[in-house]
Amino acid sequence: MATASLAAIVFVLISAVVASSLVVAAKLLRVRAKVDSPLKRRTYECGEEPLGPTWIQFHPRYYVVALVFVIFDLEAAFLLPWSLIVRELGMAGVIEVAVFALILMLGWAYAVKKDALKWQ
């Protein structure tokens, strides 16, 4: 398994080299503009002067989605190791995890009831 881990790390490194070499190649091959125009470095806003700041506070519904995601992602993190040993644990294991999921789904039902996931 040590070889597999090494192979995985090397694979990521190779993909990093491939991706960055494309950017470097573009840096070497690109055509440089003879006349510099500051206008082309202006933020694109359909040709108008950019209006107001971009980095603003955004709608709380994104925050709600992030919160619900954290809960369900944690659940997935608990379920993944369990999914490997379902056979050994037998019915007792299934029931125990089902109870855990059921408690979680109560929270989900509350969120649905409160229209938290409705994106209004």
Partner 1 sequence: MHWLLWSVVIITVLMTTTAWALWLERKLAARMGSRLGPTMVGRHGLLQPIADLLKLLQKEDILPEAADGALFNLAPILTAVFAIATVAVVPFGEGVIAADLDIGVLWVLAFGGLMVIPVWMAGWASNNKFALLGGMRAVAQAVSYEVPLVLASMVPVILAGSMSMTDIVHYQQQHSWIALWPTLPGLPAFLLFLLASLAESNRIPFDIPEAESELVAGVSTEYTGMKFGLFYMAEYIHTLVSSAIGAALFLGGWSGPFAPGLHWMLLKTLGLFVFIYVVRWTLLRFRQDQLMRLAWVWLVPMGLVLVFMAAVVVVWGGA
DSSP 32: P
Q: Which of 32, 47, 49, 60 binds partner 1 (CB under 8 A)?
A: 32
**Least distance from C-beta 45 to partner 1, angstroms?**
7
What number of other Cβ atoms are within 10 A of residue 75's Cβ?
16
d(CA 82, CA 69) in angstroms, rounded, equals 20
d(CA 44, CA 112) in angstroms, rounded, equals 39
Q: Which of 2, 57, 73, 103 binds partner 1 (CB under 8 A)?
A: 73
Q: Does 74 bind partner 1 (CB under 8 A)?
A: no
Cβ neighbours for 107, distance < 8 A, ≥ 6 positions apart = 71
Q: Closest by alpha carbon to 82, among 68, 99, 65?
A: 99
Determine the size of the site formed for partner 1 (CB under 8 A): 66
> What are the residues binding partner 1 (CB under 8 A)?
1, 3-5, 7-8, 10-12, 14-16, 18-20, 22-23, 25-27, 29-33, 38, 40-46, 50, 54-55, 58, 62, 65-66, 68-69, 72-73, 76, 79-80, 83-87, 90-91, 94, 97-98, 101, 105, 108, 111-112, 117-120
